[in-house]
Amino acid sequence: MIEIENLSLSFGDRRALDDVSFHVPKGAVTGFIGENGAGKTSTFRVLTTWLLPDPETVSVRVGGIDLLKDPHAACSRVGVLPEQLALPGELRVDEYLKFRSRLKGVSGNRIHDEVVRVLNAVNAPEMIRRRLDTLSQGYRQRIGLADALLGDPPVLLLDEPTRGLDPRQITQFRELIDGLRGNHTLLLSSHVLGEVEQVCDRICVISEGQIRLEEDRETWMQRLDQLGRLHLELDCPDTGAKSQVTQWLKEQPEVSTVENEGSVWSIQADRTLRTRIGKKALDEKWIIQELRSEPATLESLFLQWTGPEKKKAQS
């Protein structure tokens, strides 16, 4: 539904986007993550035709429309919730959404029904006659999402959609996003990686204007398994026995690193190693004081793929 091939964008001598290629499948929720200045907002601005890419860009397709050949048609297939949401406080919700409907080409006899539809979609029908300047931050974001849904665009771009919300509002907004899954294709930018981990089917990591990683949930969860650590503590006072434990751990195929301090081992390994440790402890009569998993998070994966070593390797 979004297909980007060799997208570049320059501001003078500085390249904001450098040969970017990725795709967002139809109906999927894709997390678009990166540091400040990584290129997320620039990508969104290209997808909404606010910025035109460099001439060497090969293809930018949105909802099946080639944005480079027909930017107006491509833009009409995108709804946007920007990070900085500007709402005219003097208008009522229905006045604002009716105005936005006309801008988006909704026919006059359908405007009222369309406003009611999008307010129901974001669970805010009771706000229809409220002034915008009286709304809480949570409801302001809902009205922004309702605006994005006007005209029923197949593609939604959500830029930091839960920014400034309290924990309850964040939970409610995640539920709204989950309800859009399948009916719309979503590209969601967020610095809250725990949020991305909860709601997204795919992730796309961008850093310094380049794509570093693009994976579906199953693949990145496998990566997290491999990045996780096991904490092992044994009743093992003998130095020779400690060395034996360390050597055995290093020989296991799931293990990446082993760190030992006293009778405690920190092991970077797939969690399936737990079963083998238990069997080995039984065979060798090791006394396990503690064995627990310390799972990796999406933050671990993000730091691994945007750190100096990874950037150097990919340059």
- Domain CATH code at residue 159: 3.40.50.300
Q: What is the CATH number of the domain that holds 246?
A: 3.30.70
Q: Specify which residues 80 forms β-bridges with.
A: 157
Element (H, E) at 205: strand 202-207
Query: Does residue 71 belong to any structural domain of this protein?
Result: yes
Instruction: Please provide residue 35's backbone torsions phi and psi, each rounded to the nearest 5 degrees.
Output: -70, 170
- Among 204, 222, 240, the domain boundary falls at 222
Does the pLDDT of residue 307 top 70, yes or no? no
> Are the C-beta atoms of 172 and 3 separated by less than 8 Å?
no
Query: Does residue 301 belong to any structural domain of this protein?
Result: no
Q: Give the 3-state secondary structure of residue 132.
A: helix
Count: domains in the chain: 2
pTM for this predicted structure: 0.82
Show the tokens assigned to 213.
């990683």
Query: Does residue 314 belong to any structural domain of this protein?
Result: no
Does 280 lie in the same domain as 182?
no
d(CA 150, CA 101): 6
- Among 200, 222, 244, the domain boundary falls at 222
Among 236, 193, 240, residue whose Cα is nearest residue 213: 193
Does 71 lie in the same domain as 27?
yes
Q: Identify the weakest region by mean pLDDT among 84-98, 117-131, 237-251.
A: 237-251
- Among 195, 222, 249, the domain boundary falls at 222
Show the tokens assigned to 251.
């020989």
Query: Does residue 198 belong to any structural domain of this protein?
Result: yes
Query: Does residue 312 belong to any structural domain of this protein?
Result: no
Query: pLDDT (tens digit, 9 = 90+) per residue, 22-35?
Result: 999 999 999 999 98
Domain of residue 275: give its range. 229-294
Q: Give the 3-state secondary structure of residue 86.
A: coil
Among 154, 155, 177, residue whose Cα is nearest residue 165: 177
Residue 59's pLDDT band (boundaries 50, 70, 90)?
very high
d(CA 255, CA 311): 24
Does the pLDDT of residue 308 top 70, yes or no? no
Does 64 lie in the same domain as 140?
yes
d(CA 151, CA 132): 21
In terms of DSSP bridges, do strands 264-269 and 229-234 run parallel, antiparallel, or are they unpaired?
antiparallel
What does pLDDT average to over the chain? 90
Mean pLDDT of 150-161: 94
Does 142 lie in the same domain as 280?
no
Does 142 lie in the same domain as 93?
yes
Does the pLDDT of residue 143 top 90, yes or no? yes
Does 267 lie in the same domain as 138?
no
Query: Does residue 315 belong to any structural domain of this protein?
Result: no
What confidence score (pLDDT) does residue 51 get?
A: 93
Does 270 lie in the same domain as 217?
no
Residue 315's pLDDT band (boundaries 50, 70, 90)?
very low
> Are the C-beta atoms of 20 and 210 separated by less than 8 Å?
yes
Residue positions counted in the chain: 315
Query: pLDDT (tens digit, 9 = 90+) per residue, 164-176?
Result: 888 888 898 889 9
Does 12 lie in the same domain as 118?
yes
| Helix 137-149, helix 93-103: angle, nearest 10 | 30
Does 249 lie in the same domain as 182?
no
d(CA 160, CA 200): 14
Query: Does residue 299 belong to any structural domain of this protein?
Result: no
Does 245 lie in the same domain as 205?
no
Does 124 lie in the same domain as 77?
yes
Query: Does residue 309 belong to any structural domain of this protein?
Result: no
Does 238 lie in the same domain as 156?
no
Mean pLDDT of 201-211: 93
